[in-house]
């Protein structure tokens, strides 16, 4: 089966890329200055992006999340766009914990609404202790359920799909940055991009990402188990991260280099919304 975006969806992706390419807000968000990032989110809300899961198809959600991943936009994107759009109630951002696979609420200190989902039932929640994350743009908080809101079916599935698309976008960004870098860095009088070994590594990343994309799109169309999409997108993005770090050399380890924004994002999302082993087990269970 072939999965291809419609002209309208391609135009939507181009619009988001044009907007987010101008929005370098990750570092200020990590430093605790959320206003530049919130301004971007307000613009996205004005464009209807935060209600896309209500008004559009799941493939539209995938398009949006891939762009958000590509441009490393901070904030509780998965929770706001995929899981809780019906509960925004005019607010900008919302977040949720879904134990055991989503034990903490992301950016609960910034979100307008904080929830916890227990056994399929949604509750409002109060924010507790802060928990450290490998991603400085991803602040985690313990939460405690307070008032019952009601059932929220398929919340975890939608979150996994959104996480998969965000990983796919982040992986694509890492590949693009790696390709750009190997064309500039020289060694032994040649750009390192001319070395066959480097080409092979980057080609392997490209293949992994291109194989993951139809699984993510297929999951949005209910043609592929969402867990299969998460495994493929997570592994492809992680391969992109490892390769990017390898071709960048020592500079890739520095926090000052923008590569770190995507490296830390992929490392966090790779195990978010269920680890690879969890989703492989779910795929195996669906085949039995």
Q: What are the sequence ranges of the domains in the chain?
A: 159-287
Going from the C-alpha of 276 to that of each of 42, 107, 245, 272, 273, the distances in angstroms are 33, 23, 21, 9, 10
CA dist., res. 227 & res. 273, Å (int): 10
How would CATH label the architecture of 159-287? Up-down Bundle (1.20)
Going from the C-alpha of 208 to that of each of 154, 179, 236, 238, 283, the distances in angstroms are 28, 15, 5, 10, 19
Which residues in the chain come in under a pLDDT of 50?
none
Q: What is the pLDDT of residues 44-86, one digit of tens each?
A: 999 999 999 888 789 999 999 999 999 999 999 999 999 999 9
Q: CB–CB of 234/168 below 8 Å? A: no
Q: What is the pLDDT of residues 179-195, one digit of tens each?
A: 999 998 878 888 888 78
**Both tokens of residue 71?**
């441009």
CA dist., res. 244 & res. 252, Å (int): 8
pLDDT-above-70 percentage for the chain? 99
Going from the C-alpha of 126 to that of each of 111, 156, 182, 273, the distances in angstroms are 12, 20, 47, 21
């Amino acid at each position: 089966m072939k999965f291809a975006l419609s002209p309208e969806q391609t135009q939507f992706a181009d619009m988001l890329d044009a907007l987010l390419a101008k929005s370098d807000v990750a570092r200020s968000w990590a430093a605790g200055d959320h206003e530049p990032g919130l301004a971007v989110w307000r613009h996205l809300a004005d464009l209807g992006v935060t209600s896309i899961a209500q008004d559009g198809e799941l493939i539209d959600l995938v398009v949006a999340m891939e762009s958000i991943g590509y441009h490393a936009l901070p904030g509780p994107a998965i929770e706001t766009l995929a899981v809780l759009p019906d509960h925004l109630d005019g607010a900008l951002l919302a977040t949720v914990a879904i134990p055991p696979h989503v034990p903490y609420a992301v950016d609960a200190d910034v979100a307008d609404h904080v929830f916890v989902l227990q056994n399929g039932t949604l509750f409002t929640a109060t924010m507790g202790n802060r928990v450290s994350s490998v991603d400085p743009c991803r602040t985690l908080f313990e939460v405690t359920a307070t008032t019952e809101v009601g059932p929220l079916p398929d919340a975890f599935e939608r979150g996994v799909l959104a996480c998969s698309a965000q990983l796919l976008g982040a992986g694509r960004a890492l590949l693009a940055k790696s390709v750009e870098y190997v064309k500039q860095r020289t060694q032994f009088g040649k750009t390192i991009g001319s070395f066959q070994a480097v080409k092979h590594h980057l080609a392997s990343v490209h293949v992994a990402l291109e194989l993951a994309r139809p699984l993510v799109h297929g999951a949005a169309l209910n043609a592929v188990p969402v867990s299969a999409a998460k495994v493929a997108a997570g592994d492809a993005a992680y391969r992109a991260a490892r390769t990017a770090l390898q071709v960048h050399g020592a500079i890739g380890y520095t926090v000052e280099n923008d590569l770190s924004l995507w490296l830390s994002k992929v490392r966090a999302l790779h195990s978010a919304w269920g680890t690879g082993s969890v989703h492989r087990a779910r795929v195996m269970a669906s085949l039995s």
